[in-house]
C-alpha cells in the first residue's frame, strides 16, 4: 500500500510538471482578436487614446462612439471621461488631454476639468 501511494504521488507530480511545461512553455495561450472590453487597464488607456487620435484625423464622432462602445455598451463615454479626468489629475501629456477633451466635447460630454483643454493651448 505504501509503495502504491508513493508511485501515485510521483505520477501526480510528474503529470503536473509536464502539464505546466506544455501549457506555459511549449504551447502557451496566445490571445488574438481580443475584445477591447477584455483588455487590461493599461491597454484600455492606449485604446481610448487611439480612439481620440483617430477622431482627430477623421472627425467622425459616430465612429468614435462606436469604438468607445466596445469598452462599455451601456455608457460608451464613461471610460473616456474617467481616463481624461485621471490623466488631468496625474498631469498627463497636454496633447493627449487636448485630443481627449475634443473628443469628449464632440460627444457632448463636458466636465469642468476638461474645459481648459478645449482652448488653443493650456
**What does the H/E/C string look like for 42-78?**
HHHHHHHHHHHHHHHHHCCHHHHHHHHHCCCCCCCCH
Closest CA to 84 of 43, 112, 55, 119: 112
How do the pLDDT tens digits run along the chain, 122 residues long? Answer: 789 999 999 999 999 999 999 999 998 888 788 888 888 899 999 999 999 999 999 999 999 999 999 999 999 999 999 999 999 999 999 999 999 999 999 999 989 999 999 876 54
- What percent helix, strand, coil does the chain show, rounded to 5? 70, 0, 30
What pLDDT was estimated at residue 79?
96
Our measurement of the distance from residue 47's CA atom to the centroid of its chain's CA atoms, rounded to an integer in Å, reads: 6
User: Which among 57, 74, 76, 58 has a CA at the least distance from the CA of 66?
Assistant: 76
Please tell me the distance from the alpha carbon of residue 42 to that of residue 54, in angstroms, as a whole number: 18
pTM equals 0.73
Amino acid at each position: 500500500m505504501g509503495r502504491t501511494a508513493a508511485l501515485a504521488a510521483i505520477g501526480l507530480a510528474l503529470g503536473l510538471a509536464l502539464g505546466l511545461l506544455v501549457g506555459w512553455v511549449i504551447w502557451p495561450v496566445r490571445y488574438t482578436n481580443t475584445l477591447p472590453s477584455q483588455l487590461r487597464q493599461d491597454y484600455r488607456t492606449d485604446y481610448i487614446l487611439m480612439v481620440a487620435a483617430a477622431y482627430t484625423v477623421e472627425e467622425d464622432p459616430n465612429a468614435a462612439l462606436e469604438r468607445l462602445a466596445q469598452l462599455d455598451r451601456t455608457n460608451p463615454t464613461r471610460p473616456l471621461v474617467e481616463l481624461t479626468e485621471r490623466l488631468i489629475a496625474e498631469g498627463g501629456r497636454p496633447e493627449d488631454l487636448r485630443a481627449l477633451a475634443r473628443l469628449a466635447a464632440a460627444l457632448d460630454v463636458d466636465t469642468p476639468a476638461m474645459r481648459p483643454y478645449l482652448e488653443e493651448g493650456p
